[in-house]
């Protein structure tokens, strides 16, 4: 629902909260009750003086009636619906976020908690299934139990057994019982020991993204030229798990290499002069386009640069890195829109793509996207091609460059019809 279309609803809610009769409010602001009724049912647009008068009469700032909902909250609400494949009134998500911000935040928080718990269950399940120490202990216990049970069954079967065999089975039972006691104790010790080295509550990639979000995806320590103590920096930012530390190390190594080739002092003015054109900057600094895309996304948010998001994916569609930007939700794995330049770039490796993407929500927000897919790993004849695609996302470009690509965020929450890229029905209704 567009912002304009819910101003009336907000007016009506505020008026009713304060117990003001429609006719009285209309009289206060000098309009007819029937006209106010049309406004409250979003059948007449409202702005300017009348909006200010109504806001004053309701004792609220005008922007509280006219401004849109926090886009980040709305993105997360959409993601919550997509994560659970819930059939909900997605077209009214903004309305809900405006009218019930507390409940919306609760839904978002619960969804995030659910995702974290889901990840934790997955990790524990993997541990039960694949942990060699646990598997070894259980195997030892079951093997000893099998041997004891089998030998004991022979002894109590009532059949005549030679004394030699009887002695052997008695000895075997004793040996296996000792073994069983030892392996059971080992198993109990293992299960009683807190899993201090185990995986964290969240996925490693989430840990890294959370840590990076806290510094605005700009790491001042890596901007310095020369040697940087990356292990120490990693320790400061992601102390919780080894996989996250590994991911963060790789991220920082790439960041530091990019910063060395495009020092901030030269890159910032060059980016402004080039109007943030990645290809122009690539030529100027003699670096690959994907390095420029990463570098642009790492610019400090405080210096008045355009807000820029970044996504890196592999050819399976899995997201390897996400720097979110308002209004453009980036799923972690396999649920994005195949029309994004991030994915179409795989069809044209090494060729930069510049395209404008329009999302289908009522705000019809546009995003300028630069993307390129490049090979990773050492070159080699007949090696399987491994490509990573990188996409820079700039919201609300100043002017339309070309016709926008009518894309979405995820099929599940995309209302577009007749889309050849659709892979599952939409929950929109």
Partner 1 sequence: MAKRVLLIEDEPNIIEAISFILSRDGWTVHTHENGTSAMDKVLALPPDLIILDVMLPGRSGFDILRDLRATAETAKIPVMMLTARGQARDRELAERLGANHFMTKPFSNAEVRDHVRELMEAT
DSSP bridge pairs for 318 = 333
Q: Which is nearer to partner 1, 13 or 175 (CB)?
A: 175
Least distance (Å) between residue 316 CB and partner 1: 23
Q: Could you say whether residue 170 binds partner 1 (CB under 8 A)? A: no
Instruction: Decide whether 169 or 346 has the Cβ nearer to partner 1.
Output: 169
| Residue 157 makes contact with partner 1 by CB under 8 A | yes
Site size with partner 1, rule: CB under 8 A: 21
Q: How far is the CB of 363 from partner 1 (least distance, A)?
A: 47
Candidates 153, 229, 350, 401; binder of partner 1 (CB under 8 A) is 153
Tell me how far, at minimum, the Cβ of 127 lies from partner 1, in Å.
Answer: 15
Q: Given the rule CB under 8 A, which of 145-153, 231-239, 268-276, 311-319 is the region that contacts partner 1?
A: 145-153
Which residue is listed with tokens 């886009």?
71
Q: How far is the CB of 334 from partner 1 (least distance, A)?
A: 23
Report in angstroms how near the CB of residue 133 gets to partner 1 at its nearest: 15
The distance of closest approach from Cβ of residue 1 to partner 1 in the complex, given in angstroms and rounded to an integer, is 48
- Measured from the CB atom, the residue of 139 and 283 that comes closer to partner 1 is 139
- List 40, 176, 207, 223, residue binding partner 1 (CB under 8 A): 176
* In the block, residue with structure tokens 């890294």: 208
Q: How far apart are the first and last CA of the chain?
A: 12
Indicate the residue among 143 and 284 with the shorter CB distance to partner 1.
Answer: 143
Q: Can you tell me which residue has the tokens 């490509």?
A: 387
154 binds partner 1 (CB under 8 A): yes
Q: Which of 237, 214, 202, 217 is nearest to 321 (CA)?
A: 217
Q: Given the complex with partner 1, which of 142 and 376 has the nearer CB atom?
A: 142
Sole window of 45-53, 69-77, 150-158, 368-376 interacting with partner 1 (rule: CB under 8 A): 150-158
Long-range contacts of the stretch 247-250 (C-beta < 8 A, 24+)? 247/204, 247/205, 247/207, 247/208, 248/208, 248/211
Nearer to partner 1, 176 or 207 (CB): 176
Buried b (16+ CB within 10 A) or exposed e, 118-129: ebbeebeeeeee
Q: Which x/- pattern over 115-144 shows residues binding partner 1 (rule: CB under 8 A)? A: --------------------x--xx--xx-
- 156 φ, ψ (degrees, to nearest 5): -95, 5
Side-chain-side CA neighbours of 264 within 13 Å: the count stands at 16
Of the pair 133, 303, the CB lying nearest partner 1 is at: 133
Q: Which of 37, 172, 253, 254 binds partner 1 (CB under 8 A)?
A: 172
List the one residue from 31, 65, 147, 342 that touches partner 1 (CB under 8 A).
Answer: 147
Residues at the contact surface with partner 1, assessed by CB under 8 A: 135, 138-139, 142-143, 145-147, 149-151, 153-154, 157, 159, 165, 168-169, 172, 175-176
């Amino acid at each position: 629902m567009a912002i304009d279309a819910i101003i009336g609803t907000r007016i009506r809610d505020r008026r009713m909260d304060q117990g003001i009769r429609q006719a009285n409010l209309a009289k206060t602001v000098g309009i007819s009750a029937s006209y106010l009724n049309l406004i409250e049912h979003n059948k007449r647009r409202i702005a300017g003086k009348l909006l200010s008068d109504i806001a004053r009469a309701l004792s609220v700032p005008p922007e509280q009636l006219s401004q849109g909902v926090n886009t980040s909250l709305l993105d997360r609400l959409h993601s919550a619906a997509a994560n659970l494949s819930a059939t909900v009134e997605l077209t009214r998500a903004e309305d809900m976020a405006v009218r019930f911000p507390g409940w919306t935040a609760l839904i978002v928080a619960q969804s995030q908690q659910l995702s974290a718990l889901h990840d934790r269950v997955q990790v524990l399940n993997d541990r039960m299934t694949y942990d060699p120490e646990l598997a070894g202990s259980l195997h030892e216990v079951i093997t000893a139990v099998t041997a004891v049970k089998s030998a004991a069954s022979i002894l109590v079967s009532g059949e005549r057994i030679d004394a030699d065999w009887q002695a052997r089975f008695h000895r075997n039972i004793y040996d296996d019982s000792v073994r069983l006691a030892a392996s059971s104790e080992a198993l109990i010790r293992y299960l009683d020991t807190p899993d201090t080295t185990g995986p964290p509550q969240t996925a490693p990639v989430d840990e890294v993204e959370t840590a990076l979000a806290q510094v605005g995806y700009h790491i001042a320590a890596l901007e310095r030229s020369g040697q940087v103590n990356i292990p120490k920096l990693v320790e400061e930012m992601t102390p919780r798990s080894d996989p996250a530390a590994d991911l963060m190390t790789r991220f920082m190594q790439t960041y530091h290499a990019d910063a060395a080739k495009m020092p901030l002092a030269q890159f910032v003015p060059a980016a402004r002069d080039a109007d943030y054109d990645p290809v122009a900057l690539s030529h100027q600094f003699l670096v690959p386009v994907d390095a420029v895309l990463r570098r642009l996304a790492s610019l400090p948010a405080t210096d008045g640069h355009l807000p820029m998001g970044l996504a890196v994916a592999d050819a399976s569609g899995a997201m390897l890195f996400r720097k979110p930007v308002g209004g453009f939700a980036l799923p972690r794995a396999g649920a994005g829109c195949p029309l994004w330049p991030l994915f179409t770039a795989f069809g044209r490796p090494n060729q930069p793509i510049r395209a404008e993407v329009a999302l289908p929500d009522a705000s019809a927000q546009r995003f300028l996207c630069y993307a390129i897919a490049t090979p990773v790993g050492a070159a080699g004849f007949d090696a399987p091609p491994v490509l990573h695609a990188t996409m820079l996302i700039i919201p609300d470009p100043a002017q339309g460059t070309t016709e926008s690509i009518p894309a979405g965020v995820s099929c599940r929450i995309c209302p577009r019809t007749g889309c050849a890229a659709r892979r599952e029905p939409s929950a929109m209704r």
